[in-house]
Structure 1
Amino acid sequence: MGTRDTGTRERAHGLPTERTSFVGRRRKIAQIRRMLSAAPVVTLTGPGGVGKTRLASRAAAALGGAFPDGVWMVDLAALRSRDLLAPAIVEALGVRDHTARPPLEVLTGHLADKRLLMILDNCEHMVDECAVVARTLLRTAPELRIIATSRQSLRVAGERLLDVPPLALPSGARPPAGLLARSDAPRLFAERAEAAAPGFAVTEANGDAVVEICRRLDGIPLAIELAAAQLRTLSLDQLLAQLEDRFALLPAPGASPAHHRTLRALIGWSHGLCTGEERLLWSRMSVFAGNLDLEAAEAVCGGDGIARHDVVDLLSSLVDKSILISEHDGETVRYRILETIRDYGRQRLEESGQAAVLRRRHRDHYRRLASETRARISSPEQVSWLARLGADHANLRLALEYCHTEPGQTRAGLAMAADLMYHWVNGVYLGEGRAWLERGLAAETEPSDVRVRALWTDAVLAIIQADLPSAEAVLRECGTLAVEREDPMALAYVALGEGLLALSREDPVAAIPLLDDAVRRFRAVDDPVGVVEALIRLCVAHRSTGEHALAISIGKESLAVCDRHGLGWHKAYTLAVLGVAVCERGDAGHAAALVAEAVRFNRALRDQRGVGLDLEILAWIATTQGRLRRAARLYGILRTLWARIGDPPPSGYLHSAAHGEQSRSLARHAMGEPAFQEELERGAELDYDAALAYALEEEPDDSGSPDGPDRLPPLTVRETQIARLVAQGLSNKEIGKSLMIAQRTAEGHVEHILHKLGLDSRTQVAVWVSKHDPARG
């Protein structure tokens, strides 16, 4: 139903947060700026650990103002399948596509008119594929610029190469301690050393040792950071002595470049300083893609030498030693390992003979996560479980790939893809979800419960993508198997799917009996999510046939089920469809309050598509209220939103697209083109937070419009809403119900209004509103 990212301009970029200071490279950043002014692609080359990713990210951040459509990082390190390159870019750019188009076609369409900077990070393991994608995108997107990081060139026309060297070291005699900060490598060491050993500073006494350490490490940033982290347990002199011992054993120069030998030796030294359990955890962590949480580390890495209850302390120790990076995601801590360090751990795991066992454990953990989320989708925790899947997408993808590359595991992969139905629907992954399902369905052709579940999941995704012929064919097979196997749950989903197909074909009369049947079947198998899914569409269908009282009754029934089971995500969609029915029945004020509550839900859930659909309805309601300037500004907000996340879903989902077109035309005609365009542009220029504050009437409206300003000074926006309802003769209880607030809250607002206006009665408020509200003139 939705998406989980930030909004139209809430993120000016898609760059990772910098958690440590950035040292040096000013000239390189200037070089990148000059190169991008003349070339479409700049590839940063150099050995692992030299800082290509940080340099690319910092340069992109510095260039952000030149790219109005943002700067975006696409991390390719976790990708194992070349087929997933284009979907990974779609995901990183936050493009929401609801069609069955191939991902590369989606990208070319999205980027065609964008002035955007994209970083393709860690290209070395799929250089050829990156080159193909880059060439394709640059042909259709003339304003696109790409920074790639790789150990080799992409060989793309117009590409400029920039070698990233190690950090600068002092030349000649060691400068005074106060001037060492001008030399990048000692400065980096000093900053990271101070983090490891608070109070550390470069002095005249230790300056020579600092410079010698940096020289031993060839100025490689990752090596310097790993060494500095050891100052938690070693003195500076001890650190230098251990490095001297270690590096004396380096092999003579040969085929391996010096910087590569230095970094590998340093990582090996850091590995040797770890305890046996820490080394074991390091190697086992290499089976993960992207990042992971504590539960995953315990489930996959615990046992056979690591007590499960010790994992959290071992993770903390590896963070202290700069082997892992900890990142806070809301209330959850997640752990990430740099690719160069991961590679070292992966080699140690292979040497141990335990790689196959750990990869199976990894798959099993994420298969359980998918299965448990599907089971919890009917619980009050549905939102948090779906958010967890979003955070773990790279590992879910890796687990699915395991299922399709290990003999005898394709059925498990098909079951997992089916269990992830709401993950595919809730994110940017519709196309990827269908690809996994259809790959599994092609491999597992024998009738089974798993095949039936996968078929109905595939049908739902196809309907959302408006691929109705495919959906119809898949539902037909699913229905046949469901009847043969006497599967009541499958039959319920087939009825729902057929109802959705009828709605998508704009045939609500045909949809109603199918959806009624689906409701009955879902109740029989005690599936509240299925019940709500069917009730939402049934509300849409009855509204479309003009049966507004029945539609409203069904919408309220859906709200009751949502409240009873804690289904916040589904409640937001119920509120939206109910709002449409209530408005069409003539109560625009109540309708707007219902849809505003849906916006608040979807804003909290970070569901951009849901927010967009809600704003479409709010704009239409504003037009029916005669608040034309508000409608025009909302359409401006929507223009920016849909441009950012992709086109809105097919019509008929919450309310007819005809509503929107008629609403736009009416506002444009009534206001006149210049005034309409002015408000449209004002809405389009709002950032995400300001846009939603405006939509929710949390901020004053400065339009001064004759169609009813959002605020009547000296009242606030909320007080203005309540004063208007008082003027309509509503009681405090009715006001509370209309605005979805407590009766006592409404009473408090009325008292404030009386005090502010110096009035004594509600009748006087009504008179005041009639004199000061242009909308009532």
Structure 2
Amino acid sequence: MGAFVGLGGELTSLIGRRTETARIARLLSGARLVTLSGVGGVGKTRLALRVAADAARSAFPDGVYVVELAALRDPEQLAPSVLGTLDVANPGRPGADATAALVARLCERRALLVLDNCEHLIDACARLVDALLRAAPGLRVLATSRQPLGIAGEHVFPVEPLPVPAADQGHGVRALSDNPAVALFTDRAAAVLPGFTVTESDAAAVAELVRRLDGLPFAIELAAARIRSLTPHEILERLTDRFALLTGGSRVAADRQRTLRALIDWSHELCTERERLLWARASVFRGGFDLESLERVCADAELPPAALLDTLDALVVKSIVNCRHESGRARYHMLETVREYGHERLAASGSLDAIRRRHRDRYAELTARAGQEWFGPRQVDWFTRLRLDHPNLRAALEFCLERPGQARSGLALAVSPRHYWITAGLLSEGRRWLSRLLAADHAQHHGDDAAGPGAALRVQAQVTDTYLGMLQGDPESDVRRALATCEAAARRGGHRRESAWVGHHHGILAIWNEDFADAAELFVRARAEFRAQGCLDAALECRVKFAIAHAYGGDVAAADEACGEVEAAARAHDESWLHGMALLARALLARRADAPVDAIKNARAAIARLRPFHDWWDVAMCVEVIAWSTQDAPRRAARLLGVLHMLWESVGGRLGSAPFMRAQHVRFEAAVREALPTAAFDREFRRGARATVDEAMAYVLDDAAGVPGLTRRESQVAELVAEGLTNKDIAARLTIAQRTAENHVERILGKLGFTSRTQLAVWAYERRAEPAGS
């Protein structure tokens, strides 16, 4: 085994990096220069040292040498410092002589040189490494730096933060047990508070804590050190000022590795003035941004548009900004820690308010354009873009609430496009914004809700708020009172379009009360008004609701004719959402005609149209039709009932089904319960209810999709457990690591609510015995 020179053994365990170490080792076996790049505190040094220690055992017979550069300031001392690590007997040579000595020492050796923390000496490191690699063919270099060295032959390995629990996953102890960020927090907290473990009472707080710390190992370790005097809940509460909270690193560490602020200060010092300015200004964005938005918000005479792209690229290179390709566009992100640091700098500069106003104006422009182009070929694109920029919409709405006189601008943001809150499945959030903005607008304009500038906008917001309440399941009496208030305001101000929407909403209430004839008439009147106003999309929406009313309980021929009209218009305009609603009406017609195959086909086609909008309200109605058409397969029907429960929970209201479907839903569930033993029904229902949306949709759309809640690989592993295979056998059969097989089995047990492999084996055996399609 070769020498391992430069640093001693590890003092703490490396958690959650097994995949990365294996990938870096493979990369290093073929590349002569590998640079681990990433933001400060992400764990580049620890990864490099682990890879180097593993490599020292076999791959480099002439030694592994680690050179720590953080404390070095003079580029002229770089080569002598490296030489000092390799040859402690002859240190102190001048730069040129040291480089020559290094070449002589390494030219015929198979060795690994680890250069740790190169970013502040990037040019000198690049020159030295280039010279050494050219002269020493057996040499490999592993560098860590916040930016690549930028020389020929370099392979850059971006080091990402640790994975954190998803915001929408369960936060029990079992659900968090295999999460690397939680494991790191637990390990480091136990080191300062012996016996510490994550309990059910604080699991959600720990999950949120590591999520808000971006999975950044250094920040997590500093937070864990606070467990001596604070609970996880208290640490989370104080994270509003993370730079004051996260201090107290190792006393023997470099100054910049003792506090979170010092760590980010180091990155800031390495930036040019223009890069610092863009960093600060870009901090107004939440959740990411694209180049066009960055240019609109951040560019001016001080930061010219022509220089912005190069400046942004420099921040990407220096790991301040991350770039990803999402939905065909480049989007940029900052870790929340990095963003908050920039936000502090922006506030200190005195230009925070001006930049936030530009940010608000940018997203007001985007939402207005989305509203104008909603009905047409860009509908899905606009929805996707708004979903990606939803955190920025929130930030813009916050600005409108915080600044006097801006509430009406906030209302314009909140109601365009009209159906965003509905199709995005954000009913509760939409109502919160609308109610707060309406209250602020009322105070600013002395309650004038009928006439004057912007009055139509206020009425539109009131009508939208009322409709969201309907969809959440507000009591009908409350909804009717709110609609009456909206109608009175619309009539006083002559706002005919809003009056038509009130009529549409009354039509929805009539459907829910199974008064299909009245519903159809209300939709006819509203449609006529929308057509008179030139609102084609609204007119077609009334037409498709007319079709649904008749498909469920009225004139079949009228429903069929209306479906055809909406489908033709949707195809002509390359529109998706109304097309999906027309297919839902077709599914209801097929169900009414006792044609379950056609009902399922049309409902699935509707889901394919509606799913890109995250319109879980209408998707749930489609799943309802599919479930009703699956009654001869009670186990599958029970799972679909569980999926329905999950979907209605995700909508965030008080409904368990669409109101006009409720009676049939209750009868159907009773029939399925009667067809199955109680334990079997509960088990299948639970599997559907615990599935993620993607897993549930895979099951709904494909009979062969597997078990809701289990991935295809997990279903495969479950079958092998039933065959009696051990984890080692499963790993060999599937050509995966034994630890991976163990993780699969643990996740399967957790998802299915089992505690032993025997229970899992019995369950898998029972599934094999089920009739096809059950």
Pairing 1:500–2:520 present: no
Q: Which amino acid aligns with 1:619?
A: A
Offset at residue 313 of structure 1 (A): 2.6
Q: Is the 8 A contact 1:580 1:617 kept in 2?
A: yes
Pick from 372, 378, 382: which aligns with 1:381? 378
User: Counterparts of 2:434 and 2:257 in 1: how far apart (Å)?
Assistant: 48
Pairing 1:329–2:326 present: yes
Q: Residues 281 and 664 (structure 1 numbering): CA distance in 2 closer, same or farther, change over 3 Å?
A: same
Q: Which amino acid aligns with 1:356?
A: D
Q: Residues 51 and 591 (structure 1 numbering): CA distance in 2 closer, same or farther, change over 3 Å?
A: closer
Q: Residues 19 and 528 (structure 1 numbering): CA distance in 2 closer, same or farther, change over 3 Å?
A: farther
Q: Is the 8 A contact 2:514 2:553 kept in 1?
A: no
User: Counterparts of 1:338 and 1:678 in 2: how far apart (Å)?
Assistant: 40
Pick from 569, 593, 597: which aligns with 1:589? 597
- The residue aligned with 1:529 is 537
1:237-276 deviation per Cα after TM superposition (whole angstroms, max 9, x unaligned):
xxxxxxxxxxxxxxxxxxxxxxxxxxxx664554344333
Pick from 491, 494, 497: which aligns with 1:489? 497
Pick from 654, 665, 674: which aligns with 1:669? 674
Pairing 1:41–2:202 present: yes
Pairing 1:696–2:704 present: no
Q: Which amino acid aligns with 1:435?
A: R
Q: Is the 8 A contact 2:173 2:200 kept in 1?
A: no
Q: Is the 8 A contact 1:512 1:538 kept in 2?
A: yes
Q: TM-score, normalised by structure 2?
A: 0.58
Pairing 1:219–2:254 present: no
Q: Is the 8 A contact 2:517 2:554 kept in 1?
A: no
Q: Is the 8 A contact 1:44 1:149 kept in 2?
A: no
Q: Which amino acid aligns with 1:35?
A: F
Q: What are the ranges of 5 or more consecutive residues in structure 1 without an aligned counterpart?
A: 61-146, 157-162, 172-215, 224-264, 703-773
**Following superposition of structure 1 onto structure 2, how do residues 164-563 of structure 1 map, counting pairs within 5 Å?**
216-220=254-258, 267-268=264-265, 270-445=267-442, 448-467=455-474, 468-563=476-571
User: Counterparts of 2:772 and 2:182 in 1: how far apart (Å)?
Assistant: 55
- The residue aligned with 2:636 is 630
User: Counterparts of 2:536 and 2:460 in 1: how far apart (Å)?
Assistant: 17
Offset at residue 440 of structure 1 (A): 3.0
Q: Which amino acid aligns with 2:320?
A: I
User: Counterparts of 2:633 and 2:211 in 1: how far apart (Å)?
Assistant: 58
User: Counterparts of 1:511 and 1:217 in 2: how far apart (Å)?
Assistant: 71
Q: Is the 8 A contact 1:36 1:42 kept in 2?
A: no
Q: Is the 8 A contact 2:463 2:486 kept in 1?
A: yes
User: Counterparts of 1:562 and 1:629 in 2: how far apart (Å)?
Assistant: 37
Offset at residue 604 of structure 1 (A): 4.4
Q: Residues 218 and 447 (structure 1 numbering): CA distance in 2 closer, same or farther, change over 3 Å?
A: closer
Counterpart secondary structure, 1:622: coil
1:10-31 deviation per Cα after TM superposition (whole angstroms, max 9, x unaligned):
x99999x999999998444777
User: Counterparts of 1:552 and 1:328 in 2: how far apart (Å)?
Assistant: 42
Offset at residue 518 of structure 1 (A): 1.4
Q: What are the ranges of 5 or more consecutive residues in structure 2 without an aligned counterpart?
A: 1-165, 222-228, 239-244, 443-452, 708-770
Q: Is the 8 A contact 2:596 2:629 kept in 1?
A: yes
Q: Which amino acid aligns with 2:305?
A: R
Q: Which amino acid aligns with 1:454?
A: A
User: Counterparts of 1:33 and 1:600 in 2: how far apart (Å)?
Assistant: 52
Q: TM-score, normalised by structure 1?
A: 0.57
User: Counterparts of 1:701 and 1:340 in 2: how far apart (Å)?
Assistant: 40
User: Counterparts of 1:297 and 1:376 in 2: how far apart (Å)?
Assistant: 22
User: Counterparts of 1:603 and 1:436 in 2: how far apart (Å)?
Assistant: 24
User: Counterparts of 1:700 and 1:35 in 2: how far apart (Å)?
Assistant: 41
Q: Residues 32 and 364 (structure 1 numbering): CA distance in 2 closer, same or farther, change over 3 Å?
A: farther
Q: Is the 8 A contact 1:8 1:644 kept in 2?
A: no
- The residue aligned with 1:261 is none
User: Counterparts of 2:637 and 2:389 in 1: how far apart (Å)?
Assistant: 39
**Following superposition of structure 1 onto structure 2, how do residues 34-113 of structure 1 map, counting pairs within 5 Å?**
34-37=195-198, 40-41=201-202, 54=215
Counterpart secondary structure, 2:629: helix
1:627-686 deviation per Cα after TM superposition (whole angstroms, max 9, x unaligned):
444323422443455566656746546x51222222222233345656655654665676
User: Counterparts of 1:148 and 1:555 in 2: how far apart (Å)?
Assistant: 61
Q: Which amino acid aligns with 1:318?
A: L
- The residue aligned with 2:572 is 564
Moved more, 535-544 or 315-324: 535-544
Offset at residue 367 of structure 1 (A): 1.3
User: Counterparts of 1:326 and 1:413 in 2: how far apart (Å)?
Assistant: 30
Offset at residue 570 of structure 1 (A): 2.9
1:307-338 deviation per Cα after TM superposition (whole angstroms, max 9, x unaligned):
32432332221122222233443433333334
Q: Is the 8 A contact 1:296 1:365 kept in 2?
A: yes
Indicate the structure whose relative CO is greater, using CA pairs within 8 Å and at least 6 residues apart: 1
Q: Which amino acid aligns with 2:557?
A: A
Offset at residue 306 of structure 1 (A): 2.2
1:104-161 deviation per Cα after TM superposition (whole angstroms, max 9, x unaligned):
xxxxxxxxxxxxxxxxxxxxxxxxxxxxxxxxxxxxxxxxxxx9998965799xxxxx
Counterpart secondary structure, 1:323: coil
Offset at residue 442 of structure 1 (A): 3.0
Offset at residue 364 of structure 1 (A): 0.8
Q: Residues 669 and 268 (structure 1 numbering): CA distance in 2 closer, same or farther, change over 3 Å?
A: closer
Counterpart secondary structure, 1:407: coil
Q: Which amino acid aligns with 2:508?
A: L
Q: Which amino acid aligns with 1:514?
A: L
Counterpart secondary structure, 1:552: helix
Q: Which amino acid aligns with 2:458?
A: R
1:273-322 deviation per Cα after TM superposition (whole angstroms, max 9, x unaligned):
43332222122123233332222211100122223243233222112222
Offset at residue 479 of structure 1 (A): 2.6
Q: Is the 8 A contact 1:522 1:530 kept in 2?
A: yes
Q: Is the 8 A contact 1:380 1:565 kept in 2?
A: yes
Counterpart secondary structure, 1:526: coil
Q: Residues 220 and 292 (structure 1 numbering): CA distance in 2 closer, same or farther, change over 3 Å?
A: farther
Offset at residue 376 of structure 1 (A): 1.8
Offset at residue 515 of structure 1 (A): 0.7
Q: Which amino acid aligns with 1:335?
A: Y
Aligned residues: 519
Counterpart secondary structure, 1:502: helix
**Following superposition of structure 1 onto structure 2, how do residues 575-724 of structure 1 map, counting pairs within 5 Å?**
575-623=583-631, 626-639=632-645, 641-642=647-648, 649=655, 651-652=657-658, 656-670=661-675, 676=681, 680=685, 691-699=696-704
Q: Residues 437 and 220 (structure 1 numbering): CA distance in 2 closer, same or farther, change over 3 Å?
A: same
Pairwise CA RMSD: 4.6
Offset at residue 400 of structure 1 (A): 1.7
User: Counterparts of 1:636 and 1:587 in 2: how far apart (Å)?
Assistant: 24
Offset at residue 539 of structure 1 (A): 2.0
